[in-house]
Amino acid sequence: MNHIRTILAIIILIYLVSCGDNASTKTEEAVHVSTPVTTIAIENVPISEVISFNAVSIYQRKNIVKSMITGYVDHSFVNQGDIVKVGKPLYAVKTKEGDALSKFAPKDSTLAFKGNLTIGSPASGVVIEANKQTNDYVSDGEQLCVLAVQSSFVFMLNVPFEQNKYVLIGKKCKIILPDSTFLDGTISGKLSTVDPVSQTQSFIVKPSLSTTLPENLSVQIQINKCSKANTQVIDKVCILSDETMEKFWVMKLINDSMAVKTIIKPGITAGNKVEILSPTFLPNDRIVNKGNYGLADTAFVTIIQH
């Protein structure tokens, strides 16, 4: 009986030693698990933070072309949408008397009274309304067409009053059209009233180059809120934060196989770039930009791309 007990004790001891070896091996393996990551370096470059506002295109000046006589439109030289130069003929109008006498002129030369009047364009611009066409009857002072003065084309920018400190007269801006093309512009003036409902103040943005665009076109105006000439900048994907967005950090490599959590203070954000106010990083410091999510404060990593 004692012999059997001895054999059983030896078997149990061997089993326990074997389990201990397996646990030690698993623990050893867990300690050396590494995450594949890619890294980038800190840049020292200029950065600017921009704010965007809605704006609508308008023509500030419009000329209403009117008939100066009562009669009939003998000929219309323009259609809606035409671009005209100053002095270009718009309408030829014949008086009622001229129209009546023209029927008898072939029989009696003394009745050769035409009564024609050609009305020209008072300024260069775009015809946005063409109210009368050939053979239409018009009265003295009646509207023939409306001409938008091309040089008066601007964008009306609506800015919440609490942010109008960033919109200064003479400041440069960028106009983003719906087709994603850009125009350079300048804040050239502002209105002295505020919308009572939205509490926005209107500013006038003048395009730097002459352009032919339709009225009532909705665009975005980008204005620099603040900028720095040379500062630490990193990709936004490198920065991690807690749930309350109060603490921010990056994972910095201390050697080729280990990354540590480094608390940072972010500054200006511009697109996918973020300024780092502190701490100051060295030019050869490597920051994890892919594979950093969910890493422990100290983590083993495998660099797959520099």
Domains of the chain, first to last: 31-47+229-305 (2.40.420.20), 51-59+153-226 (2.40.30.170), 68-141 (2.40.50.100)
- Alpha carbons 128 and 145: distance in angstroms, whole number: 8
- State yes or no: pLDDT of 30 exceeds 60: no
Query: For residue 14, what pLDDT is reported?
Result: 60
What is the pLDDT confidence band of residue 43, given thresholds at 50, 70 and 90? very high
Residues 9-20: what's their mean pLDDT?
Answer: 57
Return the closest-CA partner of residue 263 out of 236, 284, 294, 239: 239
- State yes or no: pLDDT of 69 exceeds 90: no
What is the pLDDT confidence band of residue 306, given thresholds at 50, 70 and 90? low
Stronger pLDDT, 89 or 97, i.e. the higher one = 89
Locate 283 and state its tokens: 């030019």
Count CA atoms closer than 13 A to 1's CA, side-chain side.
0
What is the pLDDT confidence band of residue 115, given thresholds at 50, 70 and 90? low
Instruction: Give the C-alpha distances (Å, rounded to integers) separating 177 from 127, 139, 218, 223, 255.
Output: 22, 42, 8, 15, 48
**Which residue reads 């939205």 in tokens?**
198
Amino acid letter for position 109:
S
Q: Alpha helix (H) ranges present in 81-146?
A: 96-101
C-alpha angle with apex 25: 290 to 294, nearest 5 degrees? 20
Residues 161-178: what's their mean pLDDT?
Answer: 92
- State yes or no: pLDDT of 27 exceeds 50: no
Strand order in the sheet with 83-84: 62-66, 143-149, 125-130, 83-84
Query: For residue 12, what pLDDT is reported?
Result: 61
